[in-house]
Amino acid sequence: MDSDLFSRRRAERFSQLLDEADGGRRHHVRSRVDDQLAPLVAVSQRLRTGRPDVEVDARFRTGLRAMLVATAEREGIGAATAEPARATGGRATAGTSTRGSFLPAVTARRARARGAVLVGVAAGAIALSGISAASENAVPGDALYGMKRSTERAQLALASSDISRGQLFLDFARTRLGEAATLRGDRPAFTAVLDDMDADTRQGVRLLTATAAQRAEPAGLDSVDAFLTGQRRELAGLLGTVTRAERDRTHRSIALLDTVRKRSDALRAAIACDLPASGSDALGPVPEVCPGDR
């Protein structure tokens, strides 16, 4: 069957088209999938000719090195292999004439194979880091926008705590706002990006407020408050540059930020009063009201 995009025939034809685009021998054939593969070939050429002039982030290097070291230790790469069978009188001891010499060799080959895989993963990760950097300014509709969102999901997967994930979600909400500013006049795209922005805001706030309530430490809310101040200011500045329909949608996002501000203030007061949460919703814990504030 040849219905899958990445079936063998399509993959072989894609390889031929890439070779031809790089000046290789032309195959003088035309496939019915050429029109579908042409955009992929164009993207490949753009990535090759417009290679981003970026440096790999130091934190990425450190994280990648730690991952490779941990994987190497887990897989036993570099560890000493079992000693070969002892010889007796120039001959291998009984029962080990084959295994004694064969198993260490197999183990060594497997170790080298695992090492090669690790090197390949590292090289691929470093190469992709350049593409990820190039995708930072991509907006919906751009060829690299999918890579941008995939990079964000990878960051979330690698985050070490709910605080880190919460802060990442708020960073993504800031990113979505920057994208929205470039999509003014395209109402469907503008609305979709603000929907994603609000979803990221709720996710980040929920994680950070939950952590603050669990630890009874209001300091965790500082990130939320700092985000609210800057994000609301940017949204307010956007109001005068968009259409009426887009303005109405922007007001909904501003209203969400105002709701988050009230929740953060109430939770901070509840922590000061040593009161537990009475439940939770999309923004995290719902705090009790201090007796003096009722």
Q: pLDDT tens across 129-158, in order?
A: 555 565 677 888 888 888 898 889 989 988
Identify the weakest region by mean pLDDT among 8-22, 44-58, 240-254.
44-58
Q: Which range of residues forms the domain containing residue 276?
A: 145-293
Burial of 34 (0-12, 13-18, 19+ CB in 10 A): middle
d(CA 287, CA 294) in angstroms, rounded, equals 13
127 with 179, same domain: the answer is: no
Last residue of a domain, one of 109, 134, 159: 134
87: in domain: no
d(CA 294, CA 284) in angstroms, rounded, equals 22
Number of domains in the chain: 3
Q: Is 80 helix (H, G, I), strand (E, B) or coil?
A: coil
108 with 171, same domain: the answer is: no
153 with 285, same domain: the answer is: yes
Percent of the chain with pLDDT over 70: 62
Report which of residues 209 and 85 the model is more confident about. Answer: 209
Average pLDDT, the chain: 77
pLDDT of 150-193, one tens digit each?
A: 889 989 988 989 999 999 999 999 999 999 999 999 999 999 99
Q: Which residue has the tokens 């929740």?
A: 263
30 with 167, same domain: the answer is: no
Give pTM, 2 decimals.
Answer: 0.59
Mean pLDDT of 228-252: 95
69: in domain: yes
Closest CA to 293 of 270, 263, 259, 264: 270
160: in domain: yes
26: in domain: yes
16 with 62, same domain: the answer is: no
3-state helix, strand, coil in the chain (%, to 5): 70, 5, 25
| Residue 134 Rama label (left phi>0; alpha psi -120 to 50; beta) | alpha
25 with 157, same domain: the answer is: no
In contact, 50 and 130? CB cutoff 8 Å: no
Mean pLDDT of 2-13: 60
